[in-house]
Structure 1
Amino acid sequence: MRINRFMLALTVGTSILALGATAHAAVPHASSVPAVRDAAGPASGKHVVELGSQTQALPAVGDARPDDAMTPDVTYHTTAFTNNDGGECLDGDTNTIGNNGAKVQLWGCNGWSNQNWYWTPAPGQPTGYYTIQNGDQWQCLDGDTNTIGNNGAKVQLWGCNGWSNQTWIWNGSTLRNADKGQCLDGDTNTIPANGAKVQLWSCNGWTNQSWTWH
């Protein structure tokens, strides 16, 4: 009798496990929907939309505002942001990152966190306006207020403060600083060397001011 009860329990348990496996396998994978997860660090509590799969474009100026951007609790994650002149990645310098004024440069793409960027829609602004944080120490991409407005103005990492020099306007290929309207520019004198200078410059339509997210 004990053996029969044991065999019955074993049979029922096996059936339940098989049922569970079948139910799990029946759930479809929505490959057309970008992955969403919770952010870490200072962006904690925000939902991260992963753009690396190319299933959804980073919303640009003039685009219809997507449903997920209707809330300030979303941020878009790009695993790389490359300059279309030399193909290098926008990079936070690991020797200075974490300090205000940390260097922003161009570097061969390597997938490290200092080349990851998180784009959060700027509160109260139209589609395409962002605060952009580096994935290493969560500092904001910042136009230096001491030099902004001049060609060659410094681009750096700084603690996020919500100022206009930390607001960036993405039009699908160029990135303008909201303070003086200058374009994020890879220095043609140093591209494509590792450590090539990134600066602000009057927008001119050249490829060194054209960027691609990944």
Structure 2
Amino acid sequence: MLVRSVVSGLCLSVAAGGDPEGAAAQQDGCTDSPAQRWRTIPAGGGVTLVNVASGKCLDVADRGTDDGAKVQQWSCNNGANQQWRPQPATADAGGQVATGAVLLVSVNSGKCLDLVESQTASGVHLQQWSCHGRANQQWTLGS
């Protein structure tokens, strides 16, 4: 499945060609390449997102709980920092919500997968941030 940012229309991808341990999660133009495809596997209180190209999991670095913690890929280890709870998005402060959009909430920290400052350029790295539900934290899951 593709994970697409509501604010930019770009897809969740992995930097550095999709394979290295610790490669940053970022957004890029959607090409449907294996580095942009993710499998969901039920885990703990949510799901684990596994990158099709690398077989590694979407991970909050160092089990971080702070705003701004890096989101990366890492070998799957069933940690709570690799578990995400999709929650239906509600209208943000501007009253906007995309049909079918979700927030991806880290089971470890309770914080959301976040597109830094709503940037729309390819290559922008992702982080976790306190959930506020605005468009830069809204994602659509599908093809």
Letter of the 1:120 counterpart: I
| 1: CA distance, partners of 2:77 / 2:65 | 20
1:97 CA displacement = 2.8
**1:49-92 alpha-carbon deviations (Å, 9 max, x no partner):** xxxxxxxxxxxxxxxxxxxxxxxxxxxxx1x1111111110011
**Number of the residue aligned with 1:178:** 107
Conservation of the 8 A alpha-carbon contact between 1:118 and 1:135: yes
Counterpart secondary structure, 1:145 = helix
Aligned to 1:212: 140
Distance 1:174 1:117 in 2: 16
Q: Which amino acid aligns with 2:58?
A: L
Seq. identity, %:
34
Match of 1:137 among 54, 57, 79: 54
SS in 2 for 1:153: coil
The 8 Å contact of residues 96 and 103 in structure 1, kept in 2 or not, is answered as no
Deviations 1:191-214 (A, max 9, x none): 211101210000011100000012
Larger Rg: 1
2:92 corresponds in structure 1 to none
2:74 match: 158
The TM-score normalised by the length of structure 2 is 0.85
Alignment correspondent of 1:120: 41
State the Cα distance separating 1:103 from its structure 2 match: 1.4
Task: Specify the alignment match of 1:18 in structure 2.
Answer: none
Higher strand share: 2
Structure 1 pair 158–169 and aligned structure 2 pair: CA distance change class (3 A): same
Greater than 4 Å deviation, 4+ residue runs? none
TM-score (norm 1): 0.58
* Aligned: 1:109 with 2:26: no
> Which ranges in structure 1 are unaligned for 5 or more consecutive residues?
1-77
Other-structure match for 2:98? none
Distance in 1, Cα, partners of 2:112 & 2:62: 15
* CA distance in 2 between partners of 1:98 and 1:155 (Å): 15
Hey, what's the Cα distance between the residues in 2 that align with 1:210 and 1:85? 7
Which one has the bigger helix percentage?
1
Counterpart in the other structure of 1:201: 129
Matched ranges for 1:26-45 at <5 A: none
1:99 to 5, 14, 20: 20
1:85 aligned partner:
7
In structure 2, runs of 5+ residues without a counterpart are 89-101
